[in-house]
Structures are given as structure tokens and as C-alpha cells.
Structure 1
Amino acid sequence: MQNSSPHDNAHLMKLATYASTSVALVLIVCKTVAWMMTDSVSLLATLIDSCLDALASIINLVAVRHALAPPDKQHRFGHGKAEALAGLGQATFITGSALFLVLEAISHFLRPQPIGALPVGIGIMIISIVATLGLLMFQKHVISKTNSTAIKADHLHYKTDLLVNGSVIIALLLAYYGWAGFDPLFALLIAAYILYSAWEIVQESLDLLMDREMPDEDRQKIKTIVHSHPKTLGMHDLRTRKSGLTIFIQLHLELEDTLTLMRAHEIADEVEAMILAKYPGAEVIIHQDPASLAEPQPEFVG
């Protein structure tokens, strides 16, 4: 992840939510027309998915704006967890749509329906793929800058859409020129993939809500930064978590016993500045300990 200013990241996140909502609404209109003309259940699947994408994107838009709000008296640590709540909301809607799709696919599988207006259906799917690819490229750029959970959840939705749209084209062709049962069969496969995607979103959202530690790679970087200061004798009890765009880092810094309080404070400030250079906008809390009294905490395994 590249380091950018919190202001730039916030602006990018807002643009990403506006873009995804706009794309979803346009695709809903196009796919509704195509579904009414083709009566394809696999096309209905991607229409339902787009409707939920639009709803999820609107939830994201509201959640991201709330998550970017500064801390207040009631929320001293900010509002970043609104992103994770939005992710759980999205997963709920996605799961509901997938189960509805399963029922529709089974009904059409038992009573296959002929596909009509094939060129219209395929044309709409090609338009959907082009629009989705453009959105995915922009979202990938935003994620590389912000590492936003909400935008990553939206990105996952539209990656799924890309695969769904491609599979719908195949399903339409097979159902039109071969067996009509291919259409509901592909719809069932799409539903299974949607459910898998929902589970991935749930896992990441729960990690944020449960204050999961940052990746081992980042924790090791923090330790390397701390130990690179010439006056640092050691460190222990490193704790990290992420809430929205904000990273929280806490640690105990081991220093010489004979340092004055003022000098120990200066060293802690220097170490904090070094960490902030790598993680701009992070909330860093450093407690100074005399090296002779430091009691390192055991590292958690697993």
C-alpha cells in the first residue's frame, strides 16, 4: 500500500463510492431491458446482483462518509468501524440474493424456458463487462492508496460481476443453440460463487470489528523502525489494529535507566515520528520503560 495523506485518501474513497453507485444504476436499467426481452434466468441472476450492488454501493457511500468523520466526544477513536458494519450489511444482502437466485434457477431447471432476443442479451453483457472493467481499474487504484475495507468489499462485488457477466454470455449461447437447461445451471454456479464472495466479506468485516492485529509483515516493520533508533534498548507489548483509514499502534519502549524524563520523552517522540513517516496518519502511543524493569510480554502464536 502506498502512503498518501488522509485527506487525499478520503477524497479517493468518496469518488470510488460515487463511481460504483453510478455504474450499478446504469447496469440495472440495461439488464432489466435485456432480461425482459430474453427471459433468461442467468441474466436475471446478474440483474439481481446489480440491484444488490447498487444497494450495497449506496450503503458504502453513507458508511464511508460516516467513517471519515473526525472523532467526537462520543467516539474518541473515530467512526472507522462503520466500514466493517457496511461490509456485514452488504454480505447479508448478497446472501439473500443468492438464495433467491437458487430458487429461481431450480424452478427454471425443472421447467427450462427458451431464450429470446439473443443479440440484445449478449450486447448488454458486453456493455456491462466494459463498464465493470473501468470501475474495477479505478477501485484498484483507490485500494492501493487507502486499503479501505468498504472499497475492497465493493471491488470484490464487481470482480464477481465480471465473472458473472462473462458466464452469462456463455450460458445464453449454450441455452440458445443447445440445451435450455444450461441457463439455470449457470445461474446455480453464479449463486454459489456469490455466496463464497459474501463469506469473504464477512471474514474481513469481523476482523476489523474484533480488532485483529495488523499483518506480521507490518508488525515486523514497526519493530525494525523502533530498533533502528540508536537510543532504543528494546521494546515489548506491541499492539496494533485498524479502524477505517486509521491505524492504531501501541508499544512499550525500553530505555536506559538513568535518562531524565525529558530525554526519554524526546526519544519516544523521535521514534513516533519515524513510525509516522512509514504510516502517515496513524495513532501512535508509546510508553517508556526503564530497561532493567521491562518485562517483555510473550508473543501470541497462531
Structure 2
Amino acid sequence: MIATSTPEDGHAANRRITTLSVGVAVFLIAIKAFALGASGSVSILASLADSALDLIASLSVFFAVRWAAIPPDHEHRYGHGKAEALAFLVQAGLVFASAVFIAWESIQRMVDPRPITAGGWAVGVMIVSIAVTLGLVWLQSRTIRATGSLAVRGDRAHYAADLGANVVVLIGVASGAFLGAAGLDAAAGLVVAVWLFWGALGMLKGSADHLMDKGVDDETRARIVAAVLADPRIGGVHQLRTRLAGPVLMIQMHVDLEPDQTLEAAHGVVVEAEARILKVFPGADILIHPDPRGRTRGHGGVKGDAEPPPASR
């Protein structure tokens, strides 16, 4: 997802939502620990373990978005945006670990079922957990639309998984407490584990795409090209390359210009093209190389066999 806010506003929004995320994780741990002590429910235990890892993951995101916001320096000329992808990778590992732990505990309880006590308290805690998590996911979604932050998207991914998991836990606790079906409680914990494992796979793919500099989708590329070709003085676009460094969209391309114009005139055309792109993608990092139309030979290093055909009029 591409940021729609300015970098400064985006960094501020990311800081706010990650602070809220840490606070929510601490709150959920506290109330679930109380519910576990009162009920002894394995599905509550599963949910508590997940929330504990949520806190670790949220802390990694808390620091990652602040690290990613550090301006480029001599050693990191493209900035520090990849810190968000690293945090996303850490989150995926933690979710995997949580899934394994919960699955093991659930299987143990299936073999040796234990009755659930204080079921009313446990059900109440899970209802509160679902409501609080739903509110956080909604706020995270708003932030992602504005900033495009990969780290916040990862944070939202595991909290969104928590929503479904908490519903399963609620069903399991209610079944064990009010229907006397302790085995359903353990089964609910196992469903939570599978849910988390599946979510972690998606998170791994997202972080790998980012770290491997996967280009943006075709629709985004088309919008970039359309913004550039809005000027009739530009005859075509080729060697368009894109990648994301955190929420920052990196764009490089060559454009075809009339060969007889002055360097100053060509520079003016390029600067105007950059301005049009920035209107569509605020905060993008843009590099445009002008080529004389009809007189260009291959140059600029390896451009890759997968590069689409040049865009031209």
C-alpha cells in the first residue's frame, strides 16, 4: 500500500497508533491473566499467550516506525524504511512460536480435559477483548490508508487474526463452562493455533516481498506513467523501476525528450514531471533520467529481462 499523507504526518500517525497498540496489548494481557486464574481455560491460556507475543510484536513495531522515520544519512542514503520490514519479519516469527505453543497445550488438554470454572468471568473478559481489539484494528486501518506503513500493517494483521481467534475462544469457553464440554475448549485452542499459523505465513510473504524489493502493482505503475506522460513534451517512459522502503515509494525511470532542447529546458520538463508524481504519491523518492528521443542506446546498467515494454504515446 502506498502512503497518501506527507512523510511528516505519516510518521506522526505511525507513532500514535503504535503507542496505542502497546497500551492495548498490556490491557489485554492483564484482563486475560485474570480470566485464566479464575477459569483455568486452555483457550484463555492460548489467547493470553497470543496477547503476550502481541506485546512483544507491538513493541518491535513501536521502535521500528521510529527507526524508519530517521532521515537518510551518510551510511543509509535510501533512509531507514526497511526497519519496518524487519519488524514485520520478527512479528511473523513470534506468531509462529505462539501457534506452536498453543497447539501443544491444546493437544495436552484434549488428552487430559480439565473443567472450566468461573465461566461467566471468562466470557465477559473475551467480549471486552473482542471489543477493544476491534477498535484498535479499525484505527490501524485508518492509519495504514494514510501512511502505507508495512510495520503497522503487520501489527494489524496479528490483531485482526486475534479477532477471529477471540471469537473461537469465546465459543470454546462458553461451551466448556455452560455445556460441560471441556473438550470443545481445547479444540477451540487448537483452532486458534491453526489460525495464527496461517496468518504468520502471510506475514512472512509480505516481509520477504519488501526485503527483496518487489515492485509495485501494475495499477500503481500505470498511475506513475500517466502522471509523467501528461506533458506532451515527454514522448515515452522506459526502464521504470519501483520499490518500497517502508512507506516511501522509490521511483526511477528514463523519459524520452526532444534531442535538440537545452539541458536547462530538459531539466525543467523533468522537474515538472516529478511534481506531478508527487501530487499522486506524496513523499515519493523520484529519480528521472532524460534521454534524447530516437538517439538513445542501452545504458544505465542491468535493467532486467522482466521489464515491461516502454510506455509511449
The TM-score bracket by the shorter chain reads over 0.9
**Deviation digits for residues 1-31 of structure 1, max 9, x if unmatched?**
6722211111100001000100000110100
Instruction: Give 1:13's aligned residue.
Output: 14
Structure 1 CA distance for aligned equivalents of residues 251 and 307 of structure 2: 17
Q: Which runs of 5+ in 2 are unaligned?
A: 309-313
Structure 1 runs, 4 residues or longer, greater than 3 Å off: 294-301
Instruction: Give 1:51's aligned residue.
Output: 52
Instruction: Provide the aligned C-alpha RMSD in A.
Output: 1.4
Structure 1 CA distance for aligned equivalents of residues 88 and 168 of structure 2: 26
Instruction: Give 2:4's aligned residue.
Output: 3
Structure 1 CA distance for aligned equivalents of residues 106 and 282 of structure 2: 49
**Deviation digits for residues 183-213 of structure 1, max 9, x if unmatched?**
1111111101101111111111111111110
**Deviation digits for residues 212-247 of structure 1, max 9, x if unmatched?**
101111001111111111101111000001101211
Instruction: Give 1:188's aligned residue.
Output: 190
The 1:204–1:295 alpha-carbon spacing in structure 2 relative to 1, beyond 3 Å, is farther
Give the CA deviation at 1:134: 1.4
Instruction: Give 1:133's aligned residue.
Output: 134
CA contact (8 A) 2:253 2:288 kept: yes
Give the secondary structure class of the aligned counterpart of 2:175.
helix
**Deviation digits for residues 240-284 of structure 1, max 9, x if unmatched?**
011012111000010112111111111111111111111111111
Give the secondary structure class of the aligned counterpart of 1:181.
helix
The amino acid that maps onto 1:259 is Q
Mapping of 1:180-259 within 5 angstroms? 180-259=182-261
Structure 2 CA distance for aligned equivalents of residues 25 and 179 of structure 1: 30
Structure 2 CA distance for aligned equivalents of residues 126 and 83 of structure 1: 31
CA contact (8 A) 2:126 2:169 kept: yes
Give the CA deviation at 1:178: 4.0
Structure 2 CA distance for aligned equivalents of residues 98 and 158 of structure 1: 14
Instruction: Give 1:104's aligned residue.
Output: 105
Determine if the alignment matches structure 1 residue 74 to structure 2 residue 75.
Answer: yes
Structure 2 CA distance for aligned equivalents of residues 98 and 186 of structure 1: 13
Name the stretch that deviates more: 147-156 or 177-186: 177-186
Identity percentage of aligned residues: 40
Instruction: Give 2:65's aligned residue.
Output: 64
Instruction: Give 1:271's aligned residue.
Output: 273
Give the CA deviation at 1:299: 5.0
Name the stretch that deviates more: 82-91 or 253-262: 253-262
Structure 2 CA distance for aligned equivalents of residues 10 and 105 of structure 1: 40
Name the stretch that deviates more: 165-174 or 288-297: 288-297
Structure 2 CA distance for aligned equivalents of residues 205 and 24 of structure 1: 22
The amino acid that maps onto 2:213 is D
- Given the two structures, how large is their TM-score scaled by the length of structure 1? 0.96
Give the CA deviation at 1:288: 0.6
Structure 2 CA distance for aligned equivalents of residues 133 and 272 of structure 1: 39
Determine if the alignment matches structure 1 residue 175 to structure 2 residue 176.
Answer: yes
Give the secondary structure class of the aligned counterpart of 2:182.
coil
Give the secondary structure class of the aligned counterpart of 1:247.
strand
- Given the two structures, how large is their TM-score scaled by the length of structure 2? 0.93
The 1:43–1:207 alpha-carbon spacing in structure 2 relative to 1, beyond 3 Å, is same
The amino acid that maps onto 1:198 is A
